[in-house]
Copies of this chain bind each other. A is one copy, B any other.
């Protein structure tokens, strides 16, 4: 009668912690970043790595890759940093972008049939369903219905004027509590996967909305490059946990109910912005 006893023991083994899930995830539950859809922002403070989301915002991704490839961002700056909100960069003086075509908004896909969507079971106040589209925090109205990327910390998106189709060359990154009210109001087309502290620690602008008041306060963008264009030795080989994997499902549960001995109360709930997708250097 040993086997039932062992089965009982196994059944009662405590669920893994988030650290244990990450440690034990098999190689098949990780994926490499695609260098063709990875942007390196080389700031004075160091490198910020952005994963782009061509599946969700193809026009915006094609545009920023073309801009990076022509050296558009080289010598421009981060020119707005607002506390608990966003850091914004690009063409502060709107000179270099003059005459360029505006980008038609990609706030949401009209249909998401065929888009791999890993649903989070927990309720969300802002959207009927949340989850992940290949690592990007996302939401949708229903299976196959409209879907969009949501504003979690690290979200990489296009600033605009009142006209929805007025975005051009710039970008902002969320550095504070998820501003979910921006969902479907701007085009999110990527997310920072490494180096966000190089944006979140920048001095806050003292102008309205966190704009720097003087040009000399701006933080230099030395270069922006598509990773695929760099020699392999200059790339960082990063792997992300696949959000459609069993390991990620276990991670979500480990974040919903924290099993570390330190916790005395379990939340019994988790929101999409409170499950950062694990990342590691390639093994």
Question: Which residues of A pack against B, CB within 8 Å?
Answer: 83-84, 107, 122-126, 152-153, 161-162, 164, 176-181, 183-185, 196-197, 200-204, 255, 258, 261-265, 267, 269-271, 273-274, 276
Contact = CB atoms under 8 A, between A and B. Distances in A.
A125 B124 contact: yes
B177 A83 contact: no
A263 B269 CA distance: 30
> How many identical chains are in the complex?
2
B123 A185 contact: no
Contacts of A273: 177
Nearest to A257: B181
B126 A183 contact: no
A185 B265 contact: yes
29 contacts: A83-B196, A84-B196, A107-B265, A122-B125, A124-B125, A125-B270, A125-B271, A153-B176, A153-B177, A162-B261, A162-B262, A164-B264, A176-B176, A176-B177, A177-B178, A177-B274, A179-B274, A181-B255, A181-B263, A181-B267, A181-B274, A183-B267, A184-B264, A185-B262, A185-B263, A197-B203, A200-B201, A201-B202, A201-B203
